[in-house]
Amino acid sequence: MTDLPIYLDYQSTTPLDPRVLAEMMPYLTTKFGNPHSNHSFGWEAAAGVEIARKNVANLIGAAPEDIIFTSGATESNNLAIKGMAYAAYPSKNHIITAVTEHMCVLESCAALARNGFKVTYLPVGADGLIDLAQLDQAITPKTSLVSIMAVNNEIGVIQNITEIGAICMARDVIFHTDAAQAAGKIPLDVSAMNIDLMSISGHKIYGPKGVGALYLRPKNIQPLALFDGGGQERGLRSGTLSPALCAGLGTACKIAKQDMAKDHDHIHNLAKRMKSEILGSLDGVHLNGSEKQRYPGNLNLIFDGVKGDALIKRLRNIAFSAGSACSTGRAEPSHVLTAIGLDKAQIEGSIRIGIGRMTMDQEINYAADHIIDAVKKIRTQL
Amino acid sequence: MIYLDHNATAPIRPEVIDEMSCVMKRGGNPSSVHSVGRHAKSVLEKSRRTIAQMVNCRPQKIIFTGGGTEANNLALNVKNLDHIIISAAEHDSVGQIQQNFKGRVDILPVDKHGLVKPEKLRDALAQATKNTLVSIMLANNETGVIQDIRSLARISHEAGALFHTDAIQALGKIPIDFRALEVDMMSLSAHKLGGPQGVGTLIAQEKILLVPLAYGGGQEGGRRAGTENLAGIAGFSKAVSFIPQNIQAMKTCEKIRNRIEQEIGKYAPQACFYGGAVDRLPNTSTILMPGVSSETQVMAFDLEGLCVSSGSACSSGKVKPSHVVTAMGGGQDQALSTIRVSLGPETTQQDADAFIRAWKKLYDRKRMS
């Protein structure tokens, strides 16, 4: 028998890997110093931060000095987008993003638009991917920044990051990618992919909440800080760093790099089985987004004639999502599912099953059985 | 090592670590609607209530942030402000506003005791501006000097201005009552009182329109986007629940601090204790050793097994004179020759004696040279 509830919402947040907690512990207990203090306790804490910085950098092929720590991907995305847009203003006043980005990217762009910037929102196809030719056409001499996420949080599709990076390099615009759902899960290399800025989150990769990172390619242009103070993190992000949180993120990155192939196989196999169990037992089930270009740990499925909310209510022992977790109680339909062309009924019939490192075989069995039963029951009631 | 730098960061209480471990092991995103998310949400809201109760405010006023710096920056980001008044002794996270704010910024001087004079505030408020915010810290991070915040807040309100206080350094050292202080906003941080680094809060009246520093998923009532640092927040709340014990322990701290100052004062009449004549945090002493640079002192104490600070921890690496000491009328040479000693509940008389011995030793070395 499996422990209940079963957690299948890995895009919302991931369980903390016990190895991560073990590495955080010394910085909560004996090495508690302020990393900016100029004495032994401070140096010891600062050393922990620098090890963490190296681990984050290693995951994405960056140099440690090009990583700054933040409170999370939301802050990283805001700093990257608003910071770079303002730094390039007013000689450049145009930025490009996609309609399927995370709310914190879209809201950052909306804030820029309110302040006189021009924003182009690229559409996506039914597969959830942007059209590269459209991106190329959208770039003008006034364009400073392109921000396209690596892996979508709702439907798991992987954008053509290498190609997007090449276009941005050829057209001499800055390329930022929100890799909150991608870093540590798919191979990413900032040099090979021509990525200028990358946002990373701790709690999406089995690390702690409250910490993230931003990779910044060394260039002449630096983003404007979101806020100021003691001038930590090269003046780009003031405030006392938490060595425990940094160590947590660093360790999560180190493990992710080391275990990426293993994690991928595990997750791929479980997802495949979940999908075949469901598709083998039920008609009228469709996968949202590209079938081949996706992170396997995200199964976003439409069940014809079934409402996702009704499924969640029926399946209280399975934790999964009917949309993005960031907007509790938000009544409006998912902007991502709308963007890939789903109608209202299809959006309401969609659920997201998130599978991860800690997911076990028997959890997949239990969840598949119960989802199939619940869908059948709901459908016969119609 | 003897740790005498509690104003930079304080050791985390074991109970706080236990609480954080539990929350981290249980997991969940407070914004998820399923049972795991709902449990996370209940931890978040319980923490909010605990903190609200301890500082006497409505839980709805609490906005969790990534720390004190972010809280201070958010407070200064009130919509449509055209005038900000701060004191010359503020922490850099408030003091930096003069570089970035496009409206009028007035910096109030402090007297030789580090206090803001009410008439100076009245003068600044007399400027014809529409939307004014006054931000004055409750207790100074370097000297521990405590301002009469309620009077300053009342003066500001009479002029129609909003009032914010940075109470980061005061929390856990003196009683704090949001309602009694009559302020509109107050910043707090967890890691100065035995909670974790990386979490703080801005307590703000609900009616105040704050422009978010970061946009996103609409958490914290749309005032601070981003998945909440749940374990950090739970740890913060746990640390706050120990405030009564902390404040009790401050009585001993005060005795030990006073003894340090008496001993050093007797031994070296040239030594000076900034803010020593007025109300101060019971754990803080900023000591001038004439002719010996702060950096030399900090290094020498470190070799003696004592961790002290040359001022605010934020500007490490940069040897610059303390703006707090210069604001109090100290010269550049004095501002470059002070150190801050900040005690904690676990500091003993023996720790203090070790510090006094080391101080005298260094002072003698300077005198002989």
Per-residue pLDDT, B313? 55
Domains of chain A, earliest start first = 6-15+260-381 (3.90.1150.10), 18-255 (3.40.640.10)
The string of DSSP letters for B300-332 reads: HHHHTTEE-BSS-GGGTT-----HHHHHTT--H
**What span, in angstroms and rounded, lies between the C-alpha atoms of A287 and A296?**
12
Q: Based on the domain organization, do B18 and B112 belong to the same domain?
A: yes
Per-residue pLDDT, B338? 94
- Among residues A259, A351, A268, A272, the alpha carbon closest in space to that of A306 is found at A351
Per-residue pLDDT, B14? 97
Under the banding of pLDDT at 50, 70 and 90, the label for residue A230 is confident
Contact B93 A226 (CB under 8 A): no
The count of structural domains within chain B is 2
Q: Based on the domain organization, do B129 and B172 belong to the same domain?
A: yes
* A16, A71, A102: residue with CB nearest B25: A16
Q: Active-site residues of B: which are they?
A: 314
A21-40 residue pLDDT tens = 999 999 999 999 999 998 99
CB-based burial, B13-46: b 16+ in 10 Å, e otherwise: beebbebbbebbebbbbbbbbbbbbebbbebbee
More confident residue, A3 or A281: A281
Q: Based on the domain organization, do B158 and B254 belong to the same domain?
A: no
Per-residue pLDDT, A71? 97
Q: Based on the domain organization, do B45 and B134 belong to the same domain?
A: yes
Q: Based on the domain organization, do B138 and B260 belong to the same domain?
A: no
A151-168 residue pLDDT tens = 999 999 999 999 999 999
Per-residue pLDDT, A327? 45
Distance from CA of B89 to the nearest CA of A (A): 14
Q: Active-site residues of A: which are they?
A: 326
More confident residue, A341 or A2: A341
Q: Based on the domain organization, do B311 and B201 belong to the same domain?
A: no
Q: Based on the domain organization, do B291 and B192 belong to the same domain?
A: no
A104-133 residue pLDDT tens = 999 999 999 999 999 999 999 999 999 999
Question: Could you tell me if A244 lies within 8 Å of chain B, comparing CB atoms?
Answer: yes
B172-192 residue pLDDT tens = 999 999 999 999 999 999 999
Under the banding of pLDDT at 50, 70 and 90, the label for residue A324 is very low
Contact B67 A239 (CB under 8 A): yes
pTM confidence score? 0.94
The partner residues of B84 in beta bridges, in order of sequence, read B105, B133
Per-residue pLDDT, B321? 83
Return residues 344-363 of B near A (CB < 8 Å): none
Return residues 85-124 of B near A (CB < 8 Å): 91-93, 96-97, 99-100
Per-residue pLDDT, B218? 87
More confident residue, B71 or B98: B71
**CATH number of domain containing B206:** 3.40.640.10
Read off the pLDDT of each residue in A87-96 and give the average, rounded to a whole number.
96
% of chain A exceeding 90 in pLDDT: 90
Q: Based on the domain organization, do B118 and B252 belong to the same domain?
A: no
Question: Could you tell me if A102 lies within 8 Å of chain B, comparing CB atoms?
Answer: yes
More confident residue, B137 or B35: B137
Distance from CA of B323 to the nearest CA of A (A): 13
The string of DSSP letters for A112-175 reads: HHHTT-EEEEE-B-TTSPBPHHHHHHH--TTEEEEE--SB-TTT-BBP-HHHHHHHHHHTT-EE
Domain boundary (B207, B241, B275) is at B241
Q: Based on the domain organization, do B125 and B162 belong to the same domain?
A: yes
* Domain around B115: 14-241
- Taking CB atoms and an 8 Å cutoff, what residues of chain B touch A209? 29, 227-232
- Indicate whether A256 pLDDT > 60: yes
Domain boundary (B241, B269, B284) is at B241
Contact A34 B8 (CB under 8 A): yes
- Indicate whether B318 pLDDT > 80: no
Under the banding of pLDDT at 50, 70 and 90, the label for residue B33 is confident
**What span, in angstroms and rounded, lies between the C-alpha atoms of A95 and A119?**
5
Identity (one letter) of the amino acid at A279?
A: L
A274-315 residue pLDDT tens = 999 999 999 999 999 999 999 999 999 999 999 988 898 899
Residue with tokens 């979101």: A226
Per-residue pLDDT, A1? 60
Q: Based on the domain organization, do B254 and B210 belong to the same domain?
A: no
Q: Based on the domain organization, do B231 and B270 belong to the same domain?
A: no
Distance from CA of B11 to the nearest CA of A (A): 6
- Indicate whether B154 pLDDT > 50: yes
**What span, in angstroms and rounded, lies between the C-alpha atoms of B68 and B232?**
13
* B35, B91, B215: residue with CB nearest A5: B35
Contact A211 B229 (CB under 8 A): yes
B44-90 residue pLDDT tens = 999 999 999 999 999 999 999 999 999 999 999 999 999 999 999 99
Domain boundary (B196, B224, B241) is at B241
- Indicate whether A17 pLDDT > 70: yes
**CATH number of domain containing B336:** 3.90.1150.10
Under the banding of pLDDT at 50, 70 and 90, the label for residue A326 is very low
Structure tokens at A238: 């003031």
Q: Based on the domain organization, do B281 and B216 belong to the same domain?
A: no
